[in-house]
Amino acid sequence: MAALGGKLTKKLVENLGPGRHGDGSGLYLVVDPSGARRWIVRVTVKGQRNKKGAPLRTDFGLGGADVVTLNQARERALEYRRMAKSGLNPRFNAKREVPTFEELSQQVHIDRLPTWKNAKHGQQWLNTLRDYAFPKIGRMPVDSIGQPEVLMCLSPIWTSKHETAKRLAQRIKAVLDVAKSKGFRAGENPVATIRDSDVLPKVKVKVKHHDAMPWRDVPAFYAELAGRTATAAKALQFTILTACRTSEVLEARWEEFDFDTRVWNLPAERMKAGAEHRVPLTDEMLAILKPLRVMASEFVFEGQKRHQPLSNMSMLMLLRRMGREGFTIHGFRSSFRDWASEAAGAPREVAEAALAHQVGSEVERAYARSDMLERRRELMEGWTLAVSDIPEEKVC
């Protein structure tokens, strides 16, 4: 793809491959092999010569194309050429336009979107800055933000919303790190300086555990659940039996299931740890899935909207309607883990693998190549039997 008539367009700026692409009058878009894009302008300074006696011709950077638009680059290039024509060296006389904190945050958000598991996580990243940083420092140039400005954002919520404040600090630091990498600021990142000091008080955070139903009560609840025909009830049954997370179940697609080998293959991008996970399927699990296959939907547990999964609140609302307000869906993973330890006597590594938890150091995991599928199959068969095999008189 090449520029027509020596002029670039917004589309060309976004899509041109590696190399130096001219816009005319000394302005170039430089695309690195990595895909990074930046502007440079070549000018000849009037009255100045190099060591060989030739007119002094110099390239100047105008900023990254992800921050500086084509029109802005043309305006800055024109400013540099005017300086050079009047005998002023732009290296010492040009003023570089520094983006505001909000402008650079928006660009960092766009750049990082492909790295998040889904758009929701990416939006949460930006929302934290929007709610707690933009009102205070959003309009400030990134080179003028120091410790006092960062503390203006963090101090009001440091103790009352500590987890949010920690995430906010991480995101402010990320934006300011990018600003430094692009030449918009220098020196130590103020967030790092604040972390290493005692400026903010120490906050002791209680670990919040998901309320889990005691595993001995799960069979009676499961029997009551089995009497319901709603899709949410079937999804909750499947969640309990597989000990999987809510999103893993609700976003399950038929293409992930191998009914010949009786395995549910969850891709890495849908897993919290970012690694593929195999779930052995028991007869009870297959019995839940079989009637749903006739729905001809991409998703196993389809919601009210055609070809869309159930809402992530559907199972929790069902739990509340059944009078179990004190428990959470995630808590059934704890119920399974307690049963595996107390009743099944399962080895720790097998029980943790069933929950898709990473065990041991990176070195240990590098040597532990097996996911112990067959050992986990025995464990899940035992859990299925414990959950679904209950005398009728004990059903609530």
Tell me, what CATH number does 23's domain have? 3.30.160.390
Q: Is residue 325 scored above 90 in pLDDT?
A: no
State the pLDDT at residue 118.
64
**For 325-345, what is the mean pLDDT?**
94
Q: Do residues 126 and 104 lie in contact, with contact meaning Cβ atoms separated by under 8 Å?
A: no
Whichever domain contains 127, its CATH number is: 1.10.150.130
277-280 and 37-49 as β-strands: parallel, antiparallel, unpaired? unpaired
**For 98-120, what is the mean pLDDT?**
81
**For 193-214, what is the mean pLDDT?**
79
Q: Which residue would you say has higher pLDDT here, 119 or 165?
A: 165
pLDDT digits (tens, 9 = 90+) for 214-255: 999 999 999 999 999 999 999 999 999 999 999 999 999 999
DSSP H stretches of helix in the chain: 10-15, 70-85, 90-93, 101-112, 119-132, 134-137, 147-154, 162-181, 190-195, 218-226, 231-242, 246-250, 283-289, 314-321, 331-342, 348-354, 362-367, 373-388
Does residue 206 belong to any structural domain of this protein? no
**For 185-189, what is the mean pLDDT?**
87
Do 226 and 360 sit in the same domain of this protein?
yes
Does residue 182 belong to any structural domain of this protein? yes
Average pLDDT value for the chain = 86
Percent of the chain with pLDDT over 70: 89
Residue finishing a domain among 58, 93, 128: 93
Do 150 and 178 sit in the same domain of this protein?
yes
Residue finishing a domain among 60, 93, 126: 93
Q: Is residue 392 scored above 50 in pLDDT?
A: no
Do 342 and 363 sit in the same domain of this protein?
yes
State the pLDDT at residue 117.
62
Do 220 and 368 sit in the same domain of this protein?
yes
Which of 60-69, 139-148, 204-213 ranks highest by mean pLDDT? 139-148
Does residue 226 belong to any structural domain of this protein? yes
Do 228 and 370 sit in the same domain of this protein?
yes
Do 319 and 229 sit in the same domain of this protein?
yes
Do 107 and 229 sit in the same domain of this protein?
no
Does residue 124 belong to any structural domain of this protein? yes
State the pLDDT at residue 122.
77
Do 304 and 176 sit in the same domain of this protein?
no
Does residue 1 belong to any structural domain of this protein? no
State the pLDDT at residue 151.
95
Q: Is residue 6 scored above 70 in pLDDT?
A: no
Do 368 and 296 sit in the same domain of this protein?
yes
Phi, psi at 96, each rounded to 5° = -85, 130
Do 149 and 120 sit in the same domain of this protein?
yes
Do 245 and 301 sit in the same domain of this protein?
yes
Q: How confident is the model at residue 206 (pLDDT cuts 50, 70, 90)?
A: low
Residue finishing a domain among 46, 69, 93: 93
**For 268-278, what is the mean pLDDT?**
89
State the pLDDT at residue 209.
54
The total number of structural domains in the chain stands at 3
**For 37-44, what is the mean pLDDT?**
86
Residue with tokens 């103020």: 190
Does residue 159 belong to any structural domain of this protein? yes
Does residue 209 belong to any structural domain of this protein? no
**For 28-41, what is the mean pLDDT?**
85
Range of the domain at 15: 10-93
> Lowest-pLDDT range, 108-112, 164-168, 231-235, 390-394?
390-394
Q: Which residue would you say has higher pLDDT here, 376 or 5?
A: 376
State the pLDDT at residue 274.
84
Do 168 and 289 sit in the same domain of this protein?
no
Whichever domain contains 260, its CATH number is: 1.10.443.10
State the pLDDT at residue 310.
93
Phi-psi category of 206—alpha, beta or left, where left has phi over 0 and alpha has psi -120 to 50? beta
User: How open is the CA angle 351-353-355, to the nearest 5 degrees?
Assistant: 75
* Residue 69 burial (C-beta neighbours within 10 Å; 0-12, 13-18, 19+): middle
Q: Is residue 99 scored above 70 in pLDDT?
A: yes
Q: Is residue 360 scored above 70 in pLDDT?
A: no
Closest CA to 258 of 383, 373, 385: 373
Pull the structure tokens for residue 241. Answer: 């039996």
Does residue 368 belong to any structural domain of this protein? yes
Residue with tokens 């704890």: 334
What contacts 186, CB < 8 A, 6 or more positions away? 143, 180
